[in-house]
Chains A and B, each alone.
Chain A
Amino acid sequence: MKTKWIVLWAIIVRELRRFLQQRSRFFGALVRPLIWLMVFAAGFRAALGIAITPPYETYITYDVYIVPGLVGMVQLFNGMQNSLSMVYDREMGSMRVLLTCPEPLPFLLFARLFAGMCVSLVQVYAFLLIARLSGVDLPWSGFASVLPALVLTGLMLGAAGMVLSSQVRQIENFAGVMNFVVFPVFFLSSALYPLWKMQEASEWVYQLCRFNPFTDAVEMIRFALYGQWQVEAANHTVLATAVCLTLALLGYRPRQRA
């Protein structure tokens, strides 16, 4: 049992160190959501009056509305980045080093997933802090209450990334994956607009958004920021994580050695 903890710890430290050493990655992870926040939210501030929907108790500005979606975006990109680095590791051979570890493969994959989630937490909290200090009206208590939600959503999005990395053979293919996975997942969710607004626009877009697990992730983060726990969204997230993890495990079975 003890070796498991050592392995887990080593993998977390390696991933965190790798992340912190790649300054441009840290920078990129922050700049992307901040641009959305500053440019989009400022532009839409007056144009979009967001009517009151739970968990909000009164009228909010658009910047407050999109923060949970952007937190989801940070974790989504981190999940993708993580899977990209797994593809890279595989090409460079460091994956083989990891897999020589005596622990079973499922544990190693989970440890890697967990480490990726920890990296996403660093990014999310840095983003939330900058957003709060730049005047976005977020409750400080939300910084603590959102943590369990972030752990779940980070695992789910990381697992989704692992499924992709198990299927993508070469780094070159990854740009395509970004376009065909990340953007639809982000746009067809409640990250940018409330679902009722989507429903007003088009019923089938609304249905797509409703069944997008990323919507559950965003809504769970949104409620958790205000100290509320969305049971249904949490269940969906756990389910999606389990499905992705199983698919990733199947994808990483040793038959891939070829």
Chain B
Amino acid sequence: MPHPLSRLAALLLASFAASQAMAANVYVSNEKDHTLSVIDSSTLQVVKTLKVGKRPRGITLSKDGKSLFICASDDNTVQVMDLASGKITHNLPSGEDPEQFALAPDGKSLYIANENSNVVTIIDVASRRVTGQVDVGVEPEGMAVSPDGRWAVNTSETTNMVHWIDTATRKLVDSTLVDQRPRYARFSADGKLLWVSAEVGGTVSVIDVASRKRIKTISFAITGIPKDRIQPVGIRLTRDGRYAFVPLGPANHVAVIDAKTFQPVKYLLVGRRVWHAELSADEKQLWVTNGISNDVSVIDTAALKVLKSIPVGRYPWGVAVSGS
């Protein structure tokens, strides 16, 4: 029988290893501070604040998880940060005023929406070159690439449409009308459905990818909150197809939607003007950015409860979680 102390040591080591495995870094872009806040997902504390380009908005991790792409909107570029050193290694040519982008599943191409020039710019990440531009509607904003890599979709805020770009031919092949001011698009894990939020319309449209037709429109109602304050923006879907989480902007709530029945099941109170969201790799945590109250809220997805709100920089916008 081993010595009790050695058993204790082994136990401590094991629990340490477990907590290490769970700990992830959460990256938050602060639009007004031109910084990136780094939060430890196990202690829920800000551990670092890094200086980045002007007006950082959309952020996304590279497929290997070693670098972070940052839309530095007022610098008209996409910055690439090496996460180990926290240094910007190089910039990618993004076209004018990049706000949101999506990385193809193979991690090779970046699709960037250029709000002011009504185009989607396609960049080859390795060669750091623009490989194509596709004309879309007015004020392109949301970007998503289907899990099979076949479709890149873009939402245009003024045209109120989802534009379907065939990634093989890089041509716009179809458009689907949705509600007013579509801000964000997200494919389901199986790639069969596309969820699109409409900020002014106050709805989320669910589109069948095969037919590119809208099959469901989800509306929201929160007791005591006027309808016009309900402005859905970001969307996150769990891999098991159970829940969809939709931050509702100035309604200061995140809607939890049953992704099978398309019915909202719960509204979670968070900070002011909540826009974007990201799930942790194990999908146990959902992180959302509260633009006006300058903090992020972390939600326990099993209990559907807000655990904590953590102050970051001014106007937190985008969020990415390592490992996810």
Contact = CB atoms under 8 A, between A and B. Distances in A.
B225 interface: yes
A45 B270 contact: no
Interface string B101-128: 0000000000000000000000000000
B224 interface: yes
A58 B224 contact: no
Contact of B306 (A42, A45, A49, A58): A58
A35 interface: no
B309 A45 contact: no
B297 interface: yes
Given A52-B309, A57-B308, A58-B297, A45 B272 contact: no
B23 to A, nearest CB: 19
A235 to B, nearest CB: 29
Contact of A57 (B269, B271, B272, B309): B309
B292 to A, nearest CB: 11
A46 B269 CA distance: 11
A85 interface: no
A58 B307 contact: yes
B223 interface: yes
B197 interface: no
A49 B271 CA distance: 9
Most B CB contacts (10 A, CB to CB) among A42, A45, A61 go to A45
Interface residues of A, number: 12
Interface residues of B, number: 16
A190 to B, nearest CB: 21
Contacts of A249: none
A60 interface: yes
A5 interface: no
A46 B297 contact: no
A49 B309 contact: no
Given A58-B270, A59-B269, A59-B297, A46 B306 contact: no
Contacts of B224: 42, 45-46
A137 B297 CA distance: 17
Interface in A43-69: 45-46, 49, 51-52, 57-61
Contacts of A61: 269
Nearest to A61: B269
Given A49-B252, A49-B272, A58 B309 contact: yes
Most B CB contacts (10 A, CB to CB) among A42, A45, A59, A60 go to A59
Interface string B262-276: 000000011110000
B235 to A, nearest CB: 21
**Complex A-B, nearest 3 residue pairs according to Cβ-Cβ distance, in ascending order:** A46-B224, A58-B309, A57-B308
5 contacts: A46-B224, A49-B252, A58-B306, A59-B309, A61-B269
Interface of B: 223-225, 252, 269-272, 293, 295, 297, 305-309
